[in-house]
Structure 1
């Protein structure tokens, strides 16, 4: 017996009179909608690993922890690979998955506004090569532009007057040659820590400006890399992983576990925090033995992990480079820059040929363009003092707008890639709900966001990120609110986001009756002649519809 086709039935009148009319589709039959996502709008894909090419740039975690969860990469050249190898990997995956078929490179969003009457976002886009602009329209707007890519020069008087050449770690010029030059490196974050030991062997003199101390640690998962950062994988090892997926998966799981079991260290005064503090203090003193006077200024008084994006900062060769006769450490801040060098706040002057600014990014989370929500307000103004989101992904008064890696995302809570994947899955669940249930818009309730932030602030009081360190997690302050970190482990985030709390959202439907998506009373499974006995099972046995056959139907053959 065939399935009912209401659309073709002359008897179907779609309800009675001029009142409510049910939808003509099957249950949860998805309607077509348009999704626009910001991300990879540069001249190529790759994000962080496309933009960051400074000397020594590489991943701090094992490379095998930097792949998608559903597929590893048995061909990494070494345990901790360079930014260029990471870029090649991710670009290769983008090609393999057909991303370029849906991508507009060299395009920049310059504005977006929610059109409540239509239930769509009007998105202004500019082609950065031609200068031409146009307006796109979409029911769903996803901001996957990242949170560490809006680089900026430091706000130091006189920077433009410097007569030598200057570089920024986030916008590197490969043509620059620092051989036998007097070089100043401003900044002691992750990029500065990699640049200093890489350039130290070739420069004539170097001064490195350190405003805040940082914990230097052993390599992450060091027991799996016997030669440390120099551990190179042989062709035989790579071939073995490629031919033995089970063994390769076992190796990948060991790495993931090693990064996911450190959550306890984030609590002030925990046993793991105390042990790590003692261990890393001894390690740093040993590495600074040639200049022991630096130890008191370089070893932090705050907790391990307070200011670092990925908890631990291996910094291979960094402390040893600071002990070199070529290198002078300048503690404090630069007061001004002259035509020939730096003047520190204490009046000390350094004559240099080149200045490298390893000074980071705009970490305010504010969008780069006007983003106008349902109440006519610009998110840049709302987030002027503090960026606030619901679970890092949605924002009150901004319907159908989703952020990947928004405020209070899992930046240093364990593994990172799975949390990005988890966020996308969360967004896709929302998109499917909108498509399948006749929904015009979803937007988080303000009270739900406020409850989340209250919980976040409460737990942060007991966590290392509120120690007395200067951190971009607190927008470069010492004692501000922590808006860069999730209040839990990566596993905690994954499990929470796996089951969206739709009760925390205000939902507006396309029709007055919220059950309009029930349709003609038939499912897509029925409409598409799928397995109509899918719910039956016997222990250890399963059959699909083709194996069983459709059966004669209730009336037998007709």
Structure 2
């Protein structure tokens, strides 16, 4: 078959359809990034919930808040000047996301109460064939996409604890991700299972009203001092908190909020300074770095002081493993609550639930009125619906082998499929808002390349994914994340590969995504001849044909590459 010149100028784009999954922070940022960078496309984002916001719509348990400073837990392109607290509560973050959606007219691209139930790659057409269910009506219909972008997130699919007879309990059974609005802890005997971030936040909210509160923990967790106190220890607070007034609950004063609103230079400087401090924590998790030993000593001293030196509490709650093996979460109020007389710590696992409460592995039975499961989320990275690519169902593949992805964003053998915060993303490194901005730009750049260079299908090569994973596996033993012990960083396993974190700092991840490594990818081109240069077209450029484009732009270009 003879090759023929495509009768279109260089820079021409083909019309494409993009389907996004999830309208949390990642999904909203995807909508904006596509708008700014693409033309000649259509987009729909399917969201299973009744509104946007993702995890900040779903998680509304008492005390729920972010553990990243508020002014850095926002989009760089949509600053909020009136955050009420240094660590924003869930409801305020949820309202921020809804406001963005409305102000940026994003709802026209989002279909709420819709869930994708299956996705199958059609190699011949270069399309994803999708099954979608309307959760309001139950009707299921078909859709298609040239590109499928998964923004469902990792901390979104909540799970009950893995114990026997979970539904045998006849009292009130609660998971923190499905908190009942009418639950009143007053006068009740309550068991809280789990001491991750959620457990640390919910327990001090329940403690004052509860008659008795059992806290069941399997592994102690490091609880650092309040962020501001830590900065004081390190001698950084004066630079960060100049003019900033906070009360004992870390709420900003009205005067401080007014300064944020009226002094853009100070506001910008404050954000950048706090961001720099958040980014600077990576050396702590490097086990041979002297900062690890210093920080561990200081955190142990802080926890000991907060626990009043109580020997049994210190033994139960202060870890003996490296700082950072599990996610560190501020828990000043938690440490204040666990020393109260109505709180009792129970170490060890749960054997099963019984009608009147919980049977521990020790054989002890705790009789309670309510059980609160702060037991987290499914973190295996296994998709929640069949994603059938060139090599079968990704669900089957990731159930039988370690989940691997290319720079956390794409999977070999699964063309035109991209994901936010896939395997080995920097989910524990800082604000997901800023991270999602960089990931969205990276994904959008690849889609734009395909749209304008005649590429029908693109996927990372298996060799590239394997090489990337080889680097991850060699790097992780340097970190506390890889040390022995259960954590969601390792999919809940005691040992094994770290699948939930990036092999480097937050800045390292940003730097890595700055340039697209085309040599790591496999391409299928439009046309039977599969000529990679067919996109060069008829000799003209859209930059000289489009009257709105400066055809002598190169005279203004910088010489810096």
TM-score (norm 2): 0.90
Q: How far apart are the structure 1 equivalents of 2:280 and 2:162?
A: 39
Which 5+ residue runs of structure 2 have no aligned equivalent? 24-46, 230-236
Q: How far apart are the structure 2 equivalents of 1:472 and 1:94?
A: 31
Task: Give the match for residue 128 of structure 2.
Answer: 121
Q: How far apart are the structure 2 equivalents of 1:293 and 1:152?
A: 31
Deviation, 1:243, is: 2.7
Which runs of structure 2 are paired with 1:222-241 in the superposition (5 Å)? 222=229, 223=237, 224=241, 227=246, 230-241=249-260
Task: Give the match for residue 408 of structure 1.
Answer: 424
Conserved in 1, the CA contact under 8 Å of 2:246 and 2:253?
no
**Alignment coverage as a number of residue pairs:** 519
Which runs of structure 2 are paired with 1:371-390 in the superposition (5 Å)? 371-375=387-391, 377-384=392-399, 385-390=401-406
Task: Give the match for residue 166 of structure 1.
Answer: 173
Q: How far apart are the structure 1 equivalents of 2:316 and 2:513?
A: 42
Task: Give the match for residue 37 of structure 1.
Answer: 20
**8, 11, 19: which one aligns with 1:28:** 11
**46, 62, 75: which one aligns with 1:55:** 62
Please say if 1:334 is aligned against 2:334.
Answer: no
**373, 387, 399: which one aligns with 1:357:** 373
Please say if 1:295 is aligned against 2:314.
Answer: yes
Q: How far apart are the structure 1 equivalents of 2:165 and 2:279?
A: 45
Write out the 4+ residue segments of structure 1 that deviate beyond 6 Å after TM superposition: none
Conserved in 1, the CA contact under 8 Å of 2:52 and 2:98?
yes
Task: Give the match for residue 141 of structure 2.
Answer: 134
User: How far does the alpha carbon of each residue in 1:11-69 deviate from its partner, in whole angstroms, 9 at most, with x for none?
Assistant: xxxxxxx8322122211211110000100311111111111101100111210011112
Task: Give the match for residue 555 of structure 1.
Answer: none
Deviates further, 387-396 or 148-157: 148-157
Q: How far apart are the structure 2 equivalents of 1:315 and 1:269?
A: 26
**537, 540, 560: which one aligns with 1:522:** 540
Which runs of structure 2 are paired with 1:72-111 in the superposition (5 Å)? 72-111=79-118
Deviation, 1:229, is: 6.3
Deviation, 1:233, is: 2.3
Conserved in 2, the CA contact under 8 Å of 1:413 and 1:488?
no
Conserved in 2, the CA contact under 8 Å of 1:229 and 1:316?
no
Distance 1:538 1:166, change over 3 A: closer
Conserved in 1, the CA contact under 8 Å of 2:326 and 2:487?
yes
Q: How far apart are the structure 1 equivalents of 2:474 and 2:2?
A: 51
Task: Give the match for residue 161 of structure 2.
Answer: 154
Distance 1:159 1:532, change over 3 A: closer
Task: Give the match for residue 410 of structure 2.
Answer: 394
Please say if 1:535 is aligned against 2:554.
Answer: yes
Q: How far apart are the structure 2 equivalents of 1:189 and 1:266?
A: 18
Q: How far apart are the structure 2 equivalents of 1:229 and 1:190?
A: 20
**172, 177, 184: which one aligns with 1:177:** 184
Specify the SS of the correspondent of 2:341. coil
Conserved in 2, the CA contact under 8 Å of 1:414 and 1:489?
no
Conserved in 2, the CA contact under 8 Å of 1:263 and 1:414?
no
Q: How far apart are the structure 1 equivalents of 2:334 and 2:546?
A: 63
User: How far does the alpha carbon of each residue in 1:56-98 deviate from its partner, in whole angstroms, 9 at most, with x for none?
Assistant: 0011121001111223210111211210011001111111111
Please say if 1:247 is aligned against 2:266.
Answer: yes
User: How far does the alpha carbon of each residue in 1:248-279 deviate from its partner, in whole angstroms, 9 at most, with x for none?
Assistant: 11110011001011111111031110111000
Q: How far apart are the structure 1 equivalents of 2:421 and 2:438?
A: 11
Q: How far apart are the structure 1 equivalents of 2:485 and 2:318?
A: 12
**450, 467, 477: which one aligns with 1:434:** 450
Q: How far apart are the structure 2 equivalents of 1:294 and 1:510?
A: 66
Deviates further, 453-462 or 224-233: 224-233
Q: How far apart are the structure 2 equivalents of 1:237 and 1:415?
A: 22
User: How far does the alpha carbon of each residue in 1:214-233 deviate from its partner, in whole angstroms, 9 at most, with x for none?
Assistant: 00111234543764761222
Conserved in 2, the CA contact under 8 Å of 1:114 and 1:373?
yes
Distance 1:161 1:378, change over 3 A: same
Q: How far apart are the structure 2 equivalents of 1:78 and 1:69?
A: 18
Conserved in 1, the CA contact under 8 Å of 2:68 and 2:431?
no
Specify the SS of the correspondent of 1:161. coil
Task: Give the match for residue 324 of structure 1.
Answer: 340
Distance 1:378 1:221, change over 3 A: farther
Conserved in 2, the CA contact under 8 Å of 1:409 and 1:485?
yes
Q: How far apart are the structure 1 equivalents of 2:556 and 2:384?
A: 54
Conserved in 1, the CA contact under 8 Å of 2:68 and 2:430?
no
Q: How far apart are the structure 2 equivalents of 1:489 and 1:60?
A: 18
Task: Give the match for residue 384 of structure 2.
Answer: 368
Deviation, 1:469, is: 2.6
Deviation, 1:302, is: 1.0
TM-score (norm 1): 0.90
Specify the SS of the correspondent of 2:201. helix
Task: Give the match for residue 453 of structure 1.
Answer: 469
Q: How far apart are the structure 1 equivalents of 2:553 and 2:418?
A: 35
Q: How far apart are the structure 2 equivalents of 1:314 and 1:29?
A: 52
Q: How far apart are the structure 2 equivalents of 1:406 and 1:538?
A: 36
Conserved in 2, the CA contact under 8 Å of 1:219 and 1:228?
no
Conserved in 2, the CA contact under 8 Å of 1:305 and 1:464?
yes
Which 5+ residue runs of structure 1 have no aligned equivalent? 1-17, 540-558
Conserved in 2, the CA contact under 8 Å of 1:182 and 1:353?
yes
Q: How far apart are the structure 2 equivalents of 1:102 and 1:171?
A: 27
